[in-house]
């Protein structure tokens, strides 16, 4: 944070800087709670954008509040986004975050990952998520590759593209615009749910490149909110995180009449992110098992998204 009330984001190339600049300008035409670009600095190999401060009037990053068990009220933001997305839903080809975080990551469903998965299948164990038996699909990797490849079709909305607790402040201001553009509604929903349920409270602090000492400290000092007990996956969200997810489901997701195809897209996007964002091969054996179980759970087309979320945690029955 600078004395001139700005914050600076540094990029490794001018292309990345321009992508951030474009995303900021694009989203500002739909959503007013976007920090102003105060200036752009290019000096040799130094590429910077200086933004207006987003912690106005004492606002905090939502992720920090969740770590400290501080309640957050994002209902106004969720409602505003829902109105914008409903108004602008169309079938334009996806770009922005859909391309960056989904289509461009398909190669991560690699032969190495396939080998790990086949070794997992050889154990022939029975797993459950809550009270629901998980069906293991031997063709899971291939299925997800095909399903994500179809992400150029479906409802698209103007969005930030990577919407989750580390990219929003408690006053509703959004940051990080490299993925902003016309994005798949299914991808946007999947990103928020995946991050809120699994990443912000476990996999992120443990494996993410953005993990800070404070993240690791929180993970060490907090009882695990997800795990395996007798081959049954258990999810226990903290009270403040559960409230945030409930608010999202009620104030945002319930505003859309999602057909079966859209719910399937969201489920497959969550499964895809579970397998491709963090290196499964570098996880400990329990986390690797959890990842494969959850990927199968979400990629099961016979169960609706609403049913899956309800099984994960009964507090999500508001769907």
User: For the chain, what are the domain ranges?
Assistant: 1-53, 60-318
| Average pLDDT across the chain, whole number | 91
Q: CA 119, CA 12: separation in Å to the nearest integer?
A: 38
Is 3 or 265 the better-scoring residue by pLDDT?
Answer: 265
Strand order in the sheet with 132-133: 132-133, 128-129, 232-235, 226-229
Q: What is the pLDDT of residues 284-296, one digit of tens each?
A: 999 999 999 999 9
If one counts every other C-beta atom within 10 angstroms of the C-beta of residue 32, the result is 10
pLDDT above 80: residue 2: no
Tens of pLDDT along 146-199?
Answer: 999 999 888 999 999 999 999 999 999 999 999 999 999 999 999 999 999 999
Q: What's the pLDDT at 265? A: 95
Smallest Cα–Cα separation from 148: which of 277, 276, 269?
A: 269
pLDDT of residue 19: 92
Mean pLDDT lowest for which of 170-184, 223-237, 303-317? 303-317
pLDDT above 50: residue 236: yes
Which residue from 276, 94, 310, 246 is spatially nearest to 185, judged by alpha carbons? 94
What residue has token string 């600095």?
Answer: 41
Q: What is the mean pLDDT of residues 31-39?
A: 92
pLDDT of residue 3: 41
User: Closest Cα partner for 19 from 49, 43, 45, 39?
Assistant: 49
Q: pTM (2 decimals)?
A: 0.94
pLDDT at 92 > cutoff 50: yes
pLDDT digits (tens, 9 = 90+) for 39-74: 898 988 889 999 988 887 889 999 999 999 999 999
Q: What per-residue confidence (pLDDT) applies to 212?
A: 87
pLDDT at 62: 96
Q: Does the pLDDT value for residue 4 go beyond 60?
A: no
Q: What is the mean pLDDT of residues 198-222?
A: 91
């Amino acid at each position: 944070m600078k004395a001139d009330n700005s914050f600076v984001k540094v990029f490794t190339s001018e292309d990345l800087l321009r992508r951030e600049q474009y995303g900021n300008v694009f989203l500002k035409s739909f959503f007013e709670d976007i920090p102003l670009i105060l200036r752009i600095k290019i000096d040799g190999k130094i590429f910077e954008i200086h933004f207006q401060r987003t912690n106005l009037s004492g606002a905090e990053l939502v992720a920090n509040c969740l770590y400290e068990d501080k309640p957050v009220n994002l209902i106004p933001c969720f409602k505003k986004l829902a109105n914008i997305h409903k108004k602008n839903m169309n079938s334009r080809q996806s770009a922005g975050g859909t391309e960056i975080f989904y289509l461009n990551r398909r190669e991560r469903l690699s032969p190495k990952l396939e080998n790990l998965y086949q070794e997992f299948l050889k154990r022939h164990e029975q797993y459950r998520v809550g009270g629901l038996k998980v069906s293991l699909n031997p063709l899971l990797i291939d299925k997800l590759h095909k399903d994500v490849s179809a992400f150029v079709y479906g409802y698209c909305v103007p969005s930030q593209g990577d919407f989750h607790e580390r990219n929003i402040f408690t006053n509703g201001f959004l940051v990080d615009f490299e993925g902003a553009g016309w994005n798949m509604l299914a991808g946007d929903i999947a990103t928020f749910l995946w991050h809120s349920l699994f990443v912000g409270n476990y996999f992120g602090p443990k494996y993410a490149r953005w993990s800070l000492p404070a993240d690791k400290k929180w993970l060490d000092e907090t009882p695990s909110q997800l795990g395996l007990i007798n081959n049954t996956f258990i999810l226990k969200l903290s009270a403040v995180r559960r409230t945030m997810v409930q608010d999202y489901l009620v104030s945002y997701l319930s505003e859309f009449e999602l057909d079966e195809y859209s719910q399937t897209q969201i489920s497959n996007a969550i499964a895809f992110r579970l397998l491709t964002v963090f290196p499964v091969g570098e996880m400990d054996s329990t986390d690797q098992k959890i990842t494969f179980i959850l990927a199968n759970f979400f990629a099961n087309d016979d169960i609706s998204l609403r049913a899956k979320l309800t099984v994960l945690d009964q507090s999500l029955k508001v769907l």
